[in-house]
Every structure is written in C-alpha cells, then in structure tokens.
Amino acid sequence: MMHTLADTKQNAMGNTPLEKAGIEIKVGKVVSLDAKAHTVTLGAGEVLSYEKLVLATGTEACMPPIPGVDKQGVFTIKKSMSAMNALREKVHQAKKMVIIGGGFIGAEFADELSKDPDAEIYLIEIMPKLLLTVFDDEFCDEITLLLEKQRINIRTAVRVVSIDGKEGVESVSLESGEKIPADLVLLSIGAKPSSKLAEKAGLRIIDNGSIWVDDYMRTDAEDVFAIGDCALKRDFFTRKAAPVWLASTATAEARNAGTNIYGIRVLHQIQGMIAAFSTQIGGKSFASAGMTCRTCEREGFRYVTTTAVAPDRHPGMLPGASELKVKLVFADRAGVILGGQVSGGSSVGELINVIALAIQKRVPVRELDMMQIATHPLLTSAPTVHPLINAAHQALAKLRSTIK
Amino acid sequence: MMHTLADTKQNAMGNTPLEKAGIEIKVGKVVSLDAKAHTVTLGAGEVLSYEKLVLATGTEACMPPIPGVDKQGVFTIKKSMSAMNALREKVHQAKKMVIIGGGFIGAEFADELSKDPDAEIYLIEIMPKLLLTVFDDEFCDEITLLLEKQRINIRTAVRVVSIDGKEGVESVSLESGEKIPADLVLLSIGAKPSSKLAEKAGLRIIDNGSIWVDDYMRTDAEDVFAIGDCALKRDFFTRKAAPVWLASTATAEARNAGTNIYGIRVLHQIQGMIAAFSTQIGGKSFASAGMTCRTCEREGFRYVTTTAVAPDRHPGMLPGASELKVKLVFADRAGVILGGQVSGGSSVGELINVIALAIQKRVPVRELDMMQIATHPLLTSAPTVHPLINAAHQALAKLRSTIK
C-alpha cells in the first residue's frame, strides 16, 4: 500500500461515526477482568463496571523461534498506526528486504514493495509453495510466477536459521547455507488470538488460544461476549477449531453480538468458517472459498474437481478482458459444492462471493448447472462459457461417472 | 459495439466447436414440422426425419403499428450477421438517429452511438421512464442522467405517431407535436417468440406466443423439445408466463435439454425466471435480479426495501474506486430476499450474481446478514460497509418493526 497511498492518516477511520452513534471512547489498556464482579481494571488503576462486556482483542503476530528476531529492522504487521508508520518509514529507506512467510501478508507485501525498481526483495517460505493453506498447487504456482516476474526472489521449502547483524539486521541465513543481505526483515508467519486477558480471568480458552464462544458470541462467563479474531471459529465442514481470521467474519460476529446482546432475538447460527479470501498479486486477482483439493485430502473428504477457463468479457478481445479461471470442488457422492478457487481480473472479487454463498447454502451441482446468472459483454464471460457454470456442468458428468 | 470493435467477423463464433463435437451443420429454412411423422421439411423441399427434435427458433423484434415503420433507414435488431452489418454501415453514415424504445437495447445502442461526437441522438420511450420494467425509479433516473450527459435527447411518456419521409426516413413525429429529423431509426420496443413453425405443427402455444414446455424443456409433442427465447418461461415468484429473454437462461435450458434428451437423468427443475440483467451505460454498471418495488406492487407482494452505498474499494480513495449502491427487496413477513438492484463499477457484473443466487435459494435476511464474504482493498468494499451486507442488516431491523 505504501506506494499507492500518499498518506496513511487520511485513510484512518476516525472516531466520528462512533461518537455520532453516542459511543464514549476511552483509550487505555485493560489489565484485568473480573467476570464475577462485572468489572475491568485499566492500566492507570481505574475500575470500570459493565452490564455487558465485549472482548474484541484481535490477534497478535506470531514470533518464530529464530535467533535475531529482536534485532532492529525486524518488523511484524501490528494493528497500530504508529507501528505501521515506523514500518512505512523504514521501507522507504531500505533497499534489501527479506520477508519471512509466504502467506497473504508476505505475498502482498512483496508485491507492493516490488513497485520500487531499486528494491531487492526475498520472500522465504518454509512450506513447499506460497499460499499453500488457501490454494491448490496450480494457483500457488501462478502467484509464484507473477512475483518472480516482478524480480522477487522466492525461496520455498527452506527454514530460516538466523537473522544476523550487530544491533540492526544485516542478513538472513537459510538452512540451505544461503546468506541474504537485508536492511529490513518482515516476519509474516502468521498470527495467534490475543486471549491472555480472558485466560487470566478464567474464561474458557480453546487449544489454539481462541476464546470459546457459542453461536451468539457468548463466552462461558455470564454477560461477556467475544468477537473477531480473538473468538473461537469453527470450520464449516468439520466443526474443528479453524485458525482463520478475516475482517469480514469479524464484522459479521460484531453484528451477531450487537443484535443479541440483551437477549437472543435473531437466531443467527454462525454456520462455521468457510474461509473466503481474495487478493491481487502482480495485477492479477486470486480468490478462494471453502475447501481446496489439499484440504479435502487432509480432512478425508472424497471429492471431484473441475476447472473451466474463459475470457471475462465477451467477445474476449474487448479492451480490459482477462482470462477467468474457476476451479470447483464437489463432494463426491453428495454432489454438493465444497469449495472454489478463482483467478482473473477484478471481477474475481465478487465472483468468489457467488461461490461463497453457494458453499454456505450447500448448493448441489445440478442447481449450479441451472443457475440463472446475469451476463453482459462488458462485465462478464459469455453465458455459453461462463467458467462458474461450465465448471459445474463438467462436474455433473464427472460425478455421474463416479457413481457406479 | 460498432465503435469498440474493428470488425464484426472476427467476433463470430464460427462452426469449428460444433464440427469438432461431431455435429453436422445444415443451413436452410425449415418450412414445416410433422410431429407425428417425426419429420421436418426444408424450404428446398428436402425432408429430414428425427429421433429427437429441438426447437431453438428464438425471438423476432416486435414491429409497432406506426405508419412508416417499413421505410428505408428503419432498423430492428436482427439475429443475422448480414442485417447487423447493414445496420452498422448505415450507422457510420447517419448523423441524426432516433431510437424508439428505451429498454436495454435502446439505452445501450444510444450509449454506444454517443461516442461519435457529431451524432445527434434521440431516445423515445412511451413509458414514464427508461428501463422501467427492470429498475426502480432511482436507477432509471440515474441512467437517464448519464445518457443526457452524453448529449442524448430523451423523450419519455410520449408516443411516436409516424415515421415520415419519401422513400427513406426523414423525420419522426411524436404525439407531443415534436418532429425530429432522422437519417436512421432503430426500433427497439421489444421482441416476441418465433413460434409460427411450432404453432402450425399443432404444438401448444401460450398466450404470449411461447412454445409450452415442461421442466425438462419437452413440448407437448412427443420427442420435440424447445429451448431458449421461443420456449415458455415461468416467473420464479408467480409462475405466470414471463416475457424475459436472456442468453444466460437459453444456455441453461440447452444444458437441461441436452442432459435429459434421451430420458430424464438429472432432475433439473427449472425454478422459474428471476430475470437477472446487467448492463453498462455511460461507463457505469447497472444490474437487477428478481423483483423490484414496482413489480412487488404490481403483483401484490408486501415488501420491505433498503439501500446501502459504499466505495467499491477500501479505502475509497484508491485509484479505480466507484460508488457501489445496492438496493434489496425482501418479502415483508417471510423475510426472504425477492430482488436486488445494483449500480457501480464493473464489480456489479458478478455482485448481481451473488444476489441472483440468494434469490434462487430463497435466502432469509438473517442469513444474508451473517453471510461470509471475501473482501480485499483492491477488489471490494470494506467488510464493515459492504453494501450487500449492510442493506441486509438494515432490512433486519426494518422487518422487525413491521411485525407487530
């Protein structure tokens, strides 16, 4: 972002909308919670009592056990304006940058940094491919190629053994023996829920560190709610704890808690996390929702998968047309959609939400094959070849052949 | 289109994909059908017999009962390359053009013509607003303003009384007394199913001229199917005959008939027409699916409606950001989504398909309020303000207040 946006301040949300809604804003650190007494204590010693309490403490970046992570010039992404400004300033000075962790944050950060033609960028991932938790191989490979085209040096399947230098960072050493000079290191290896306050107060914490909540965002302490990244997410398909933290989920949970805070009024039933992501890398858009082939295999789901490709305008030679690729994953016998991955132009951003809704509604393949969609030469693929419909249609035949 | 695309020929689909699939192409006019004998007769006298017959005769443009519609220089949109080429050639010569009928074809044609700075364009609509059958007033008005900005002269709520001239068209006279000079007139007042062949063969025809079909596109004649614009469409909400002809529906019907032609194998159940449209006018995108407030009132549906607006990127000052507006219509007591209308940038093209799927799955407002979506700064509105979600959330409160 640092290159596209002149000033971060003008992009801050500000307090006005909250103040207009009659909300009193108090800035301070809560150091303890007494759930029985219905009070919280601030760092300055002030005690506040509450009728209802909502914990929205978010996540904090994971720190890997690598020697040297505390050196000057090593950053994580923090949810603080001052921290982001410090990182931004350092980015403008640095020329040799190493990003450790090739998930969304790492890949997007590398993509943005590469707009500076003088920057020398390394992206290091311990797994065999970038973005492996969200995409199947072909999408990971496409993203890798796009980043490499932008002169980003990618190292996968390799561990960082140390971050070296005197006071400040000077280089990063890999298990392979490679030593990469660095003025700046970004750690983007993941995040974990910030749940220490809740834990100390005796609230139930689930093994990955999330605060346990029911379908209405209620914790096991009376009158205490938890929403957003700090609150437990359950996977849509397996009901296991799902370490997926998305702003879109957080806002839905906020609406859920807000509506139901003085008594359950809307049976919202959080259906579980389908993990709907979108991104733009190297000018191309990528998105994923639900299960990939990889997660199906890991979780023991039998699946059928199909991929369809077509221009996202019709005819395809219209200015602004991109190739749109849709991969769908269906439950083998049930024929219900489990997931989808998409790449293409900016229409990907909302097309993935068609797939996301289909997953949430457990739409069978025969309904997707007959789905009524709007199409237009300047806005979508042709109706004859729309990759979402065509992938579903192919799956219909493929699923038939799997039922003996 | 004529300005954006250099040559129409290169955009023709061609026969290759059909030939590759082993299909023999025969060009000729079928003059009669004997459904009992299982034969069709071509204009040249040749008789072909069939096991299964699929009628895909489409629509033809309606001709209004206006004196002078047969003059040289008066065109309709025909599904024929030579007719389109003749129109295209005439458009390049003409400077004064009158379009009669302000639906999608009329509005898009006017929009495209206005790219010629010397063209003098009039768009005449008999109803009080343009695109009245698809959009509510505020969207119609926005489209009208955009076209007027492009120097298109719009006349609404007025009847054309005659198309005047000696051999060729010279002017168009309106009921209001206005006489508009014209080198070219386009008639875009609508279309009707081409069902004469079927009618003569004794197949059941529904009052608007459509060929009656069941859920598997079977006509009432054994082994005869009808698909696309010539086949009966039933409204999703009322089951009435729905005079809505869309390429996306036609292709779905083709898949339905193709899958089931030798016996019903997939219970496709055509759910009925939700009429999902998108368009781009004056560089802005507009889309609609399902019922508008106007159709709710006409059909006696009690409804609640909400509108939400936000930039389609976040922060909204990102380059390429447009204002995205989503209007949703819900059934008053049931709280189920009935329709949606959207305007904004090109993301509208797939966002309407999220709404289209929600309508087809009869999604209740509380599920839309909790719907998991993917969001990204460069691709969508912020999750806190996404107009689809926010319109649903507002409706939740509004619906509650209607239940006494």
Mean pLDDT value of segment B300-324? 95
Distance from CA of A49 to the nearest CA of B (A): 28
Place of tokens 């199913």: B193
Interface residue of A217, A264, A361, A373 to substitute, partner B, most B CBs within 10 Å: A373
* pLDDT reported for residue B207: 82
* pLDDT reported for residue A8: 56
* pLDDT reported for residue A4: 43
Distance from CA of A199 to the nearest CA of B (A): 28
Tell me which of A255-269, B156-170, B378-392 is least confident: A255-269
Cβ distance of B374 and A383 shorter than 8 Å: no
B9 pLDDT above the threshold of 70 = no
A76 pLDDT above the threshold of 50 = yes
A173 pLDDT above the threshold of 80 = yes
Q: In chain B, which residues have their Cβ closer than 8 Å to the Cβ of A278? A: 374-376, 379-380
One domain for residues B213 and B126: no
One domain for residues B264 and B328: no
Considering CB atoms only, which of A249, A347, A374 is closest to B248? A374
Cβ distance of A383 and B246 shorter than 8 Å: yes
One domain for residues B180 and B260: no
A7 pLDDT above the threshold of 80 = no
A268 pLDDT above the threshold of 80 = no
Cβ distance of B252 and A372 shorter than 8 Å: yes
CATH code: domain of residue A351: 3.30.390.30
Q: pLDDT digits over B240-276, tens only?
A: 999 999 999 999 999 999 988 998 887 767 789 999 9
B157 pLDDT above the threshold of 70 = yes
For B340, phi then psi, to 5°, come to -155, 150
User: Would you give the DSSP letter of residue B275?
Assistant: -
Q: Judging by beta carbons within 10 Å of its beta carbon (0-12, 13-18, 19+), is residue A161 exposed, middle or buried?
A: middle
Q: What is the 3-state secondary structure (H, E, C) of chain A?
A: CCCCCCCCHHHCCCCHHHHHCCCCCCCCCEEEEECCCCEEEECCCCEEECCCEEECCCEEECCCCCCCCCCECEEECCCCHHHHHHHHHHHHHCCEEEEECCCHHHHHHHHHHCCCCCCEEEEECCCCCCCCCCCCHHHHHHHHHHHHHCCEEEECCCCEEEEECCCECCEEEECCCCEEECCEEEECCCEEECCHHHHHCCCCECCCCCECCCCCCECCCCCEEECHHHECCEECCCCCECCCCCHHHHHHHHHHHHHHCCCCCCCCCCCCECCCEEEEECCEEEEEEECCHHHHHHHCCCEEEEEEEEECCCCCCCCCCCEEEEEEEEECCCCEEEEEEEEECCCHHHHHHHHHHHHHCCCEHHHHHCCCCCCCCCCCCCCCCCHHHHHHHHHHHHHHHHCC
Considering CB atoms only, which of B266, B356, B380 is closest to A372? B356
Q: Report yes or no: A355 and B354 within 8 Å, Cβ to Cβ.
A: no
Q: What's the CA gap between A244 and A232, in Å, rounded?
A: 10
With cut-offs at 50, 70 and 90, classify the pLDDT of residue A87: very high
Considering CB atoms only, which of B4, B315, B379 is closest to A349? B379
* pLDDT reported for residue B1: 35
* pLDDT reported for residue B213: 96
Q: Hey, is the C-beta of B1 within 8 angstroms of any chain A C-beta?
A: yes
One domain for residues B136 and B203: no
One domain for residues B167 and B205: no
From B191, B212, B229, give the residue that closes a domain: B191
Cβ distance of B379 and A280 shorter than 8 Å: yes
> Angle at CA B308, nearest 5°, toward B305 and B310?
165
One domain for residues B38 and B95: no
B67 pLDDT above the threshold of 90 = yes
One domain for residues B104 and B165: yes
Tell me which of A262-266, A376-380, B210-214, B337-341 is least confident: A262-266
With cut-offs at 50, 70 and 90, classify the pLDDT of residue B5: very low
Per the DSSP assignment, residues forming a β-bridge with A100 are A124, A187
One domain for residues B155 and B212: no
Look up residue A51 and give its amino acid.
E
Cβ distance of B371 and A361 shorter than 8 Å: no
One domain for residues B158 and B37: no
* pLDDT reported for residue A211: 98
Neighbouring residues of A21: CB distance < 8 A, sequence distance ≥ 6: none
Neighbouring residues of B16: CB distance < 8 A, sequence distance ≥ 6: none
Distance from CA of A208 to the nearest CA of B (A): 22
B2 pLDDT above the threshold of 60 = no
Q: Hey, is the C-beta of A36 within 8 angstroms of any chain B C-beta?
A: no
Query: Is there a cis peptide before residue B128, judged by omega within 30 degrees of 0?
Result: no
Distance from CA of A221 to the nearest CA of B (A): 24
Q: Hey, is the C-beta of B256 within 8 angstroms of any chain A C-beta?
A: yes
State which residues form the domain around B362.
Answer: 277-402
Considering CB atoms only, which of A288, A353, A373 is closest to B276? A373
Interface residue of B346, B389, B390 to substitute, partner A, most A CBs within 10 Å: B346
* pLDDT reported for residue A99: 98
How many CB pairs below 8 Å do chains A and B form together? 224
Q: Identify whether A144 is part of a domain.
A: yes
Q: Hey, is the C-beta of B247 within 8 angstroms of any chain A C-beta?
A: yes
The share of chain B scoring above pLDDT 90, in percent, equals 87
Interface residue of B105, B362, B370, B384 to substitute, partner A, most A CBs within 10 Å: B370
- Paired tokens of B291: 């019922």
Q: What is the 3-state secondary structure (H, E, C) of B383-395?
A: CCCCHHHHHHHHH
For A313, the closest chain B residue by CA position comes to: B349
For B385, the closest chain A residue by CA position comes to: A251
From A161, A191, A221, give the residue that closes a domain: A191
One domain for residues A306 and A330: yes
With cut-offs at 50, 70 and 90, classify the pLDDT of residue B8: low
Mean pLDDT value of segment B220-245? 96
* pLDDT reported for residue B30: 97
From A191, A216, A240, give the residue that closes a domain: A191
Tell me which of A112-126, A181-195, A253-267, B31-45 is least confident: A253-267
The chain-wide mean pLDDT, for chain B, equals: 93
Q: pLDDT digits over A108-134, tens only?
A: 999 999 999 999 999 999 999 999 999
Mean pLDDT value of segment A278-288? 97
Interface residue of A376, A385, A386 to substitute, partner B, most B CBs within 10 Å: A376
The chain-wide mean pLDDT, for chain A, equals: 93
Cβ distance of B346 and A351 shorter than 8 Å: no
Neighbouring residues of A262: CB distance < 8 A, sequence distance ≥ 6: A52
* pLDDT reported for residue B81: 86
Per the DSSP assignment, residues forming a β-bridge with B279 are B286
Considering CB atoms only, which of A10, A366, A379 is closest to B280? A379
Cβ distance of B346 and A277 shorter than 8 Å: no
Cβ distance of A356 and B373 shorter than 8 Å: yes
One domain for residues B216 and B323: no
One domain for residues B85 and B170: yes
Mean pLDDT value of segment B318-336? 95
Mean pLDDT value of segment A211-234? 97
Q: Kindly provide the b/e burial profile for residues A339-372, where b requires at least 16 CB atoms within 10 angstroms of the residue's own CB.
A: bbbbbbbbbbbbbbbbbbbbbbbebbbbbbbbbb
The share of chain B scoring above pLDDT 70, in percent, equals 96
Q: Hey, is the C-beta of A169 within 8 angstroms of any chain B C-beta?
A: no
Q: Hey, is the C-beta of B315 within 8 angstroms of any chain A C-beta?
A: yes
Q: Hey, is the C-beta of A357 within 8 angstroms of any chain B C-beta?
A: yes
The share of chain A scoring above pLDDT 70, in percent, equals 96
Look up residue A126 and give its amino acid.
I
Q: Hey, is the C-beta of A360 within 8 angstroms of any chain B C-beta?
A: yes
Mean pLDDT value of segment A22-30? 94
* pLDDT reported for residue B232: 97
* pLDDT reported for residue B402: 62
CATH code: domain of residue B209: 3.50.50.60
Q: In chain A, which residues have their Cβ closer than 8 Å to the Cβ of B351? A: 350, 353
Q: Identify whether B211 is part of a domain.
A: yes
A2 pLDDT above the threshold of 60 = no
* pLDDT reported for residue A403: 53
Q: Identify whether A2 is part of a domain.
A: no
Q: Hey, is the C-beta of B386 within 8 angstroms of any chain A C-beta?
A: yes
Distance from CA of A34 to the nearest CA of B (A): 30
Mean pLDDT value of segment A3-24? 74
Q: Hey, is the C-beta of A341 within 8 angstroms of any chain B C-beta?
A: no
Q: Identify whether B56 is part of a domain.
A: no
Task: Work out how many domains chain A is built from and give that number.
Answer: 3
Q: Where are the alpha helices (DSSP H) in B94-190?
A: 104-113, 137-149
* pLDDT reported for residue B74: 97
Q: Identify whether A38 is part of a domain.
A: no
Which SS3 state, helix, strand or coil, does residue B343 take?
A: strand
Q: Identify whether A54 is part of a domain.
A: no
Interface residue of B8, B131, B357, B390 to substitute, partner A, most A CBs within 10 Å: B357
Predicted TM-score (pTM) of the model is: 0.95
Q: Which residue has the higher pLDDT, A9 or B387?
A: B387
Q: Report yes or no: B361 and B374 within 8 Å, Cβ to Cβ.
A: no
Q: Identify whether B178 is part of a domain.
A: yes
Q: Identify whether A230 is part of a domain.
A: yes
